[in-house]
Chain A
Amino acid sequence: MAFYFDHKHQKLDDPAASVDKPGAIIAVWFVILLGVIATIGVSFAHLGDSALIVHMLISVVQVSFVGYYWMHLNKADSLTWLTVGSAMFIMLILFAMPLSDYLTRFLGGM
Chain B
Amino acid sequence: MSANEGALKHHFEDIEQQRGAERLGMWMFLATEVLFFGGVFLAYTVYRIWYPKDWAAASSQLNVLVAGINTVLLLTSSLTITFAIRAAQLGNRKALMNLLAITGLLGAGFMCFKAYEYNQDYEEGLVPFCKNFGEELVHDPDDKDHSHAATTTFNQQWEKKGIAPQRIRLFMSFYFIMTGIHGLHIIIGIGAIFYLWYRAYMGWITADRYVGVEVTSLYWHLVDAIWLFLMPLLYLAGSHHSLHF
Chain B interface size, under 10 / 10 to 19 / 20 to 34 / 35 or more: 35 or more
A110 sits at the interface (CB 8 A): no
Within 14-30 of A, Cβ neighbours of B (below 8 Å) are at 15-16, 18-20, 22, 25-26, 29
CA distance A1 to B17 in the complex (A): 9
The verdict on A59 contacting B76 (CB below 8 Å), with A18-B89, A40-B64 known, is: no
Decide if the interface of chain A is mainly helix, strand, loop or mixed: helix
Give Cα A71–Cα B23 distance, bound, in whole angstroms.
Answer: 11
Q: Mark each residue of chain A from 17 to 57: 1 if its CB lies under 8 Å from any CB of chain B, else 0.
A: 01110100110010011011001101111111101100110
- Cβ distance B83 to chain A, nearest Cβ, rounded Å: 6
Using known A-B contacts A13-B19, A19-B86, determine if residue A94 contacts B38 with beta carbons closer than 8 Å.
yes
Residues of chain B within 8 A (CB-CB) of A99 are 45-46
By the criterion CB–CB under 8 Å, are A66 and B30 in contact? no
The minimal Cβ–Cβ distance linking A81 to chain B, given in whole angstroms, is: 10
CB distance from A75 to the nearest CB of B (A): 11
Say whether A51 contacts B239, CB under 8 Å: yes
* Chain B residue with Cβ nearest A98: B42
Asked if B34 CB lies within 8 Å of chain A CBs, one says yes
Contact in complex: B72, A55 (CB < 8 Å): no
Contact B48 A52 (CB under 8 A): yes
Cβ–Cβ contact A71 & B239, under 8 A: no
- B229-A43 in contact (CB<8A): no
Determine if A87 and B14 form an interchain contact, defined as CB atoms under 8 angstroms apart: no
Contacting residues of chain B (165-223) with chain A, CB-CB under 8 angstroms = 207-208, 210, 214, 217-218, 221-222
State whether A79 touches B16 (Cβ < 8 A). no
B83 near A87 (CB under 8 angstroms)? no
The CA of A1 and the CA of B228, in the complex, are separated in Å by 42
Residue B236 interfacial (CB < 8 Å):
yes
Given A86-B31, A102-B46, 13 more A-B residue pairs with CB atoms under 8 Å apart are A3-B13, A4-B20, A42-B232, A44-B240, A51-B239, A55-B233, A70-B78, A87-B31, A87-B35, A88-B34, A91-B38, A94-B39, A95-B45
